[in-house]
Chains A and B, each alone.
Chain A
Amino acid sequence: MELRHKNLLGIEDLSPEEISLILETASSMKEVSSRDIKKVPTLRGKTVINLFFEPSTRTRTSFEIAGKRLSADVINISSSSSSVVKGETLEDTGKNLQAMNPDLIVVRHPSPGAPHILARTLNASIINAGDGAHEHPTQALLDAYTIQEKKGKLQGLTVTIVGDITHSRVARSNIFLLKKMGAIVRVSGPRTMVPPFIESLGVTYVPELREAIRDTDVIMMLRIQLERQNQSFFPSIREYARCFGLSLPMLEHARKDVVIMHPGPVNRGVELSPEVLNAPYTIILDQVANGVAVRMALMYLLIGR
């Protein structure tokens, strides 16, 4: 089986079989990262451009390492150094990059649908590394890989996603993926940050965190943007942490074998108390490690053969 796509724009476009293929491929890629010499020649002579219109450390670095471990030439362009500040449109930026004949462009952009514009106009493959509040498919894939690694499966698991669902591309991509793979998904958080009609995505909204985490296999905490307090989404950091943060007392309501995830970067003491953050059931760093393997797998599947 192969991935019948030129681009990875969103989880919504993938079938369950394609998701499984990506996760299986990631397993073999993970082994490369454990070697002494962490490099294979798979993408030698291929050019990968990381085109980031939003600040990112984790995701950009992860894509860069993934490309380099596959021997691709990786170039990073960030918004501060890009021509956007000179007034060039996204389409024109894309066409100029295309003229240099890259094989893959990894794009992060604050506007939903921006990678789709590039996909329509360019010959290079496009990976969406986050478009506004729309999708962040590689995050969902690395989350799925990490859950599968810890729990052995996705089918039938209950996953609770907590926090600012409205503004979260991570939440959307994870909901799409987990539903496709047969998991049960709950969301929790203040109603101000859970969009109306969220149930139409096949999830259940459970406002109270202690109810939402009861009998769940996985808790996914989302990053809260602290400036949303000024936009009347929540009254104070203190109350947010109290009602929607994970502390040891709150975890009393969860199962003993629960695992806790977070796409990062964590607001220490807000989404997660320091004790929870450092506990063994918190698998945030596994997520980061697996991110490289999943992105290597995608690069290989999209441009490696």
Chain B
Amino acid sequence: MKLLIRNGRVIDPATGIDAVCDVLIEGGTIRAVEPEIRLPDMSKARLVDATGCIVTPGLIDMHTHLREPGHEYKETIASGSRAAAAGGFTSIVCMANTQPVNDSAAVTRFICERARTTACVNVYPVGAITVGLRGETLTEMGDMKEAGIVAVSDDGVTVADAGVMRRGIEYARTFDLPVICHCEDRTLSRNGVMHEGLTSVRLGLRGIPAAAEEIMVARDILLAGLTGHPVHIAHVSTAGSVHLIRDAKARGIPVTAETAPHYFTLTDEAVLGFNTDAKVNPPLRTAADVTAVREGLRDGTLDVIASDHAPHSSLEKDLEFDNAAFGMIGLETTLALTLALVRENVLTMAQALEKLTVNPARILRLPKGVLTPGAAADITIFDPQQPWTVDRNRFFSKSKNSPLHGLQVAGTVRHTLVAGTVVFPFAT
């Protein structure tokens, strides 16, 4: 069965295409991207009208938490993949901090098997750097890579011991596995629950200084230089981290970086009223940090926008602020918040989309993120203008922990295609 996407504005940042074109799909792969494709027998093809919409390589979220195995009441691979499809993502990368931790090929195989049988988008697992995320013993990365991991990370915690982290990066290099760094010096962040700044002083909440992140960003940049292996800095939240990464890139150190939409959209004032949905790690920072993160996205210091989708239920969130869990969901709001940067002239549409498609694909060496003939037909079609209001009760995620509830945004996903199959809107 052929599928023809007609009359959309095709933007493929990998090839530089930005033109109104049709896209022909057959057998799960892209056959042609050309203006006004005519088929000998149009009636046998499924037609998708994309007039007024943008047609782009399927979005890739290189930082999510799917909670399966272990915390299926918060999210499963199935529910997380539906949230992803609804948010325009055709590929998602899930972190290792499940229960049990993805620190062995057995867990990796379980995740891949569950993804194959229950997920509607591509799911790529990340393996742990150290067993149990304890920062002590290296995991069997070679075994896990054969089972399907695409990177290693102890995301959620930092490998505190620089010597262990160095060996972890070197060992990952053996198998050409990218290393994703969660940068947080726990001796500085300690029991902190929000950004250390004007708002934490008012609320009497224990602060996490920006330096807690920046010290580890600096360390991991130095380790990338030492080992010669690329490191990818996860969820950059501070101006200081942006400066460190910009400087490292200028010196030719192999480092890439991502930020999450909340770090270019919200400030620590979102915590006022002790709103636990705004409790996230790293914490929401100041307006100056938001500006610096936006500038880092604009000048390419920050390569990727990732959701850091972190589902939690009311059991973890309807608590005292001190006791509530860190994290917010983002799969279904990331595209709209990114499009706001385009409207505000921070990014061009092509820049915005490369941070959601080809850039994460290149960092993780995924054969994704392009619209060239022969590529798998992972495609996202969205209306960039359509306004909507974020409603926590209408998410496809199992969890509702978003501080964006009630926010007016624009940009809605019309169709998400994975390997040529329309996975969103969901068949009823």
* Interface assignment of B124: CB less than 8 Å from any CB of chain A: no
Q: A113-B274, A197-B197 are known contacts. Are A134 and B205 too (CB-CB below 8 A)?
A: yes
- Please indicate the chain A residues that have their CB under 8 angstroms from the CB of B163 in the complex: none
B183-210 CB mask vs A (1 if < 8 Å, else 0) is 0000000000000111011111111010
Q: What class of interface size applies to chain A in its complex with B? A: 20 to 34
**Choice from A89, A116, A132, A133 contacting B273 with Cβ under 8 Å:** A116
Contact A113 B321 (CB under 8 A): yes
- Please indicate the chain A residues that have their CB under 8 angstroms from the CB of B207 in the complex: 195-196
In the complex, what distance in Å separates the CA atom of A112 from the CA atom of B322? 7
**Chain B: interface residue total (CB-CB under 8 A):** 20
* Interface assignment of A32: CB less than 8 Å from any CB of chain B: no
**Choice from A110, A113, A201 contacting B201 with Cβ under 8 Å:** A201
Q: A90-B319, A117-B320 are known contacts. Are A112 and B201 too (CB-CB below 8 A)?
A: no
List CB contacts (< 8 Å) of A279-298 with chain B. Answer: none
In the complex, what distance in Å separates the CA atom of A109 from the CA atom of B323? 12
In the complex, what distance in Å separates the CA atom of A196 from the CA atom of B207? 10
- Please indicate the chain B residues that have their CB under 8 angstroms from the CB of A110 in the complex: 322
B201-227 CB mask vs A (1 if < 8 Å, else 0) is 111111101000000000000000000
In the complex, what distance in Å separates the CA atom of A117 from the CA atom of B274? 9
- Please indicate the chain B residues that have their CB under 8 angstroms from the CB of A197 in the complex: 197-198, 201
Contact A111 B323 (CB under 8 A): yes
* Interface assignment of B318: CB less than 8 Å from any CB of chain A: yes
Q: A195-B207, A196-B196 are known contacts. Are A114 and B201 too (CB-CB below 8 A)?
A: no
Contact B320 A90 (CB under 8 A): yes
In the complex, what distance in Å separates the CA atom of A198 from the CA atom of B320? 24
Q: Interface centre among B197, B203, B273, B320, by most A CB within 10 Å?
A: B320
Closest to B320 in A: A111
Contact B202 A201 (CB under 8 A): yes
Contact B198 A112 (CB under 8 A): no
In the complex, what distance in Å separates the CA atom of A256 from the CA atom of B297? 60
Q: How many A-B residue pairs have CB under 8 A?
A: 63
Contact B320 A114 (CB under 8 A): yes
- Please indicate the chain B residues that have their CB under 8 angstroms from the CB of A196 in the complex: 196-197, 201, 207, 209
**Choice from B201, B204, B318 contacting A169 with Cβ under 8 Å:** B204
- Please indicate the chain B residues that have their CB under 8 angstroms from the CB of A195 in the complex: 196, 200-201, 207
Closest to B321 in A: A113
Contact B197 A116 (CB under 8 A): no
- Please indicate the chain B residues that have their CB under 8 angstroms from the CB of A111 in the complex: 320-323
* Interface assignment of A91: CB less than 8 Å from any CB of chain B: yes
In the complex, what distance in Å separates the CA atom of A134 from the CA atom of B321? 12
A2-37 CB mask vs B (1 if < 8 Å, else 0) is 000000000010000000000000000000000000
- Please indicate the chain A residues that have their CB under 8 angstroms from the CB of B202 in the complex: 12, 172, 200-201
* Interface assignment of A64: CB less than 8 Å from any CB of chain B: no
In the complex, what distance in Å separates the CA atom of A195 from the CA atom of B200? 9
List CB contacts (< 8 Å) of A189-206 with chain B. Answer: 195-198, 200-201
- Please indicate the chain B residues that have their CB under 8 angstroms from the CB of A90 in the complex: 319-320
In the complex, what distance in Å separates the CA atom of A198 from the CA atom of B196? 11
B162-178 CB mask vs A (1 if < 8 Å, else 0) is 00000000000000000
List CB contacts (< 8 Å) of A110-134 with chain B. Answer: 110-114, 116-117, 131-134
Closest to A117 in B: B320
- Please indicate the chain A residues that have their CB under 8 angstroms from the CB of B273 in the complex: 113, 116
* Interface assignment of A135: CB less than 8 Å from any CB of chain B: yes
List CB contacts (< 8 Å) of B317-332 with chain A. Answer: 318-323
In the complex, what distance in Å separates the CA atom of A230 from the CA atom of B203? 25
In the complex, what distance in Å separates the CA atom of A114 from the CA atom of B204? 12
- Please indicate the chain A residues that have their CB under 8 angstroms from the CB of B201 in the complex: 195-198, 200-201
In the complex, what distance in Å separates the CA atom of A200 from the CA atom of B203? 13
- Please indicate the chain A residues that have their CB under 8 angstroms from the CB of B203 in the complex: 112-113, 134
Interface residues of B (CB under 8 A from A): 196-198, 200-207, 209, 273-274, 318-323
Q: Apart from A132-B204, A134-B204, A197-B201, what are 14 other A-B pairs with CB-CB below 8 Å?
A: A90-B319, A109-B320, A110-B322, A111-B320, A112-B321, A113-B273, A113-B321, A133-B205, A134-B205, A172-B202, A195-B196, A195-B201, A196-B201, A197-B197
12 A-B pairs, CB-CB below 8 angstroms?
A12-B202, A110-B322, A112-B322, A113-B273, A113-B320, A113-B321, A132-B322, A133-B204, A135-B204, A172-B202, A172-B204, A195-B200
Complex A-B, nearest 3 residue pairs according to Cβ-Cβ distance, in ascending order: A113-B274, A134-B204, A133-B204
